Amino acid sequence: MIYLDNAATTLHKPEGVAEAMTMALTSMGNSGRGAHEATLDASRMIYGTREKLAELFHISDPMRIAFTCNATESLNIAIQGILQPGDHVITSVCEHNSVLRPVYQMAKRGVTYNMLPADKKGVIQYDQLTSLLKKETKAIVITHASNLTGNVTDLKKISDFAKANELLLIVDASQTAGCIPIDVQDMGIDVLCFTGHKGLMGPQGTGGIYVREGIKIAPLKVGGSGVKSFDKEHPDTMPTALEAGTLNGPGIAGLGASVSWLLKQGVEQIHEKDLALSRRFLKGIAEIPDITIYGDMDSQMRTAIVSLNLGDVDSAEISDWLWEDYGIAVRAGAHCAPLMHKALGTEQQGAVRFSFSCFNTEEEVDAAIRALKELQE
């Protein structure tokens, strides 16, 4: 199998991830639920993973990071826990449903919203920010990169606008954490939502949320905390405030191992290799008859995603052919990004998404190029 669906989840994990999970499964107890060796080992491991993530994202206090199941849970915590009836939020048409659906749900509770539009290349129209601002605007929720086009958001423009207007900046880093350098201080990010199983190359069922000091988020869920058990209210100090119940110890152990590997390799170096593979692919398919490629391919700052269509053939058919005849795994359809497809004019056809990892090879890229050329012969 040639796996080119890394924007959905990375299949190839760094060495040490599975081993760390196995060790946790066979030796670690429940973090914060006792004072014996097994539970203390779990607590040390979990804090160690917080420290690694803090180093990766340039977060000064690891305790401002809470673990979640995935970016979707993180975004729900942020959107539902920050916005209140009467508030207004700005987001964009480039968002995944993990942003859109929580925003729509909050609209039923009295929150209003506006969407930044995108052009035919899927590039956000930043000049529309001022026109969308209202006196009730509380936050901007924005993706760091589109999961459909690979376009990377200019967070400096968004952050400068947010700061100038005293707005909170909530960033969905599902497609960039581990793929593109992220510095929450330099980028002015107030809340960072990320998943562990994509660019961070950890196991599924892991994710997290960073919350800047001074910001309070109402918890999405409350319950067991391991501390202050006689209080009727859930503890409000981070990270316990957003971590009700038992954490996914084995998953966090695997995530810690993958982040250690990322820190050793360097995110910049990984991004360079990812882009080199995607550019090789782009160069190889550029002359295929009747091919349409989506996104701003002239931008130097991109993720390693290439979405395309061949003529008017349904994207699902192309995906099926690639898998059945060539053993190439890609993603077709709507990619949980309905408004982005509307902006690109592909809501009926969908798109075929190729997404590359540093564990892919040039030979695999060339095989995908040959397959697309043969499909058009």
76-85: per-residue pLDDT in tens? 999 999 999 9
Whether 298 and 206 map to the same domain: the answer is no
Whether 195 and 281 map to the same domain: the answer is no
62 near 210, Cβ under 8 Å?
no
Whether 218 and 365 map to the same domain: the answer is no
Whether 277 and 254 map to the same domain: the answer is no
Whether 131 and 69 map to the same domain: the answer is yes
Q: Which of residues 265, 299, 334 is at a domain's end?
A: 265
The answer to which of 32-46, 143-157, 303-317, 347-361 has the lowest mean pLDDT is 32-46
Whether 113 and 237 map to the same domain: the answer is yes
**pLDDT tier at 246 (50, 70, 90 boundaries)?**
confident
189-235: per-residue pLDDT in tens? 999 999 999 999 999 999 999 999 999 999 988 877 677 767 778 77
Whether 349 and 221 map to the same domain: the answer is no
pLDDT value, residue 54: 98
User: Which residues, including other chains, have CB under 8 Å from residue 338's CB and lie 6 or more apart?
Assistant: 97, 100, 347
Concatenating the DSSP letter of every residue in 61-77 gives: -GGGEEEESSHHHHHHH
List the CATH number of the domain containing 277: 3.90.1150.10
**pLDDT(28) > 90:** no
258 alpha-carbon distance from chain centroid: 16
- Positive or negative torsion for Cα 191, 208, 6, 187: positive
Number of domains the chain contains: 2
Distance CA 129, CA 157 (A): 10
228 alpha-carbon distance from chain centroid: 33
30-44: per-residue pLDDT in tens? 776 667 777 877 889
Q: Which of residues 241, 265, 289 is at a domain's end?
A: 265
329 near 366, Cβ under 8 Å?
no
pLDDT value, residue 32: 63
Whether 320 and 200 map to the same domain: the answer is no
Whether 81 and 125 map to the same domain: the answer is yes
Q: What is the mean pLDDT of residues 54-60?
A: 98
Distance CA 114, CA 161 (A): 15
pLDDT value, residue 36: 76
pLDDT value, residue 43: 84
**pLDDT(353) > 70:** yes
Residue entry with tokens 């699902």:
316
**pLDDT tier at 320 (50, 70, 90 boundaries)?**
very high
The one-letter amino acid code at 102 reads: P
59 alpha-carbon distance from chain centroid: 17
| 3-state SS class at 103 | helix
Whether 254 and 325 map to the same domain: the answer is no
pLDDT value, residue 343: 95
Q: What is the mean pLDDT of residues 304-331?
A: 97
| 3-state SS class at 199 | coil
In terms of residue numbers, what domain contains 308?
Answer: 2-10+266-375
pLDDT value, residue 373: 96
List the CATH number of the domain containing 241: 3.40.640.10
Q: What are phi and psi of 9, to 5 degrees?
A: -170, 145
150 near 295, Cβ under 8 Å?
yes
- Cα torsion at 351, 355, 360, 366 (round to 10°)? 40
pTM: predicted TM-score of the whole model, two decimal places? 0.96
Distance CA 8, CA 248 (A): 21
User: What does DSSP say about strands 168-172 and 191-195: parallel, antiparallel, or unpaired?
Assistant: parallel
- Cα torsion at 313, 316, 322, 328 (round to 10°)? 140
Q: Which of residues 265, 283, 318 is at a domain's end?
A: 265
State percent of the chain over pLDDT 90: 88
Q: Per this entry, what is the length of the chain?
A: 377
Whether 279 and 226 map to the same domain: the answer is no
pLDDT value, residue 372: 97
pLDDT value, residue 171: 98
Distance CA 349, CA 170 (A): 31
Pick from 4, 355, 9: which is nearest to 199 by CA? Answer: 9
Whether 161 and 247 map to the same domain: the answer is yes
282: tokens are 């782009």
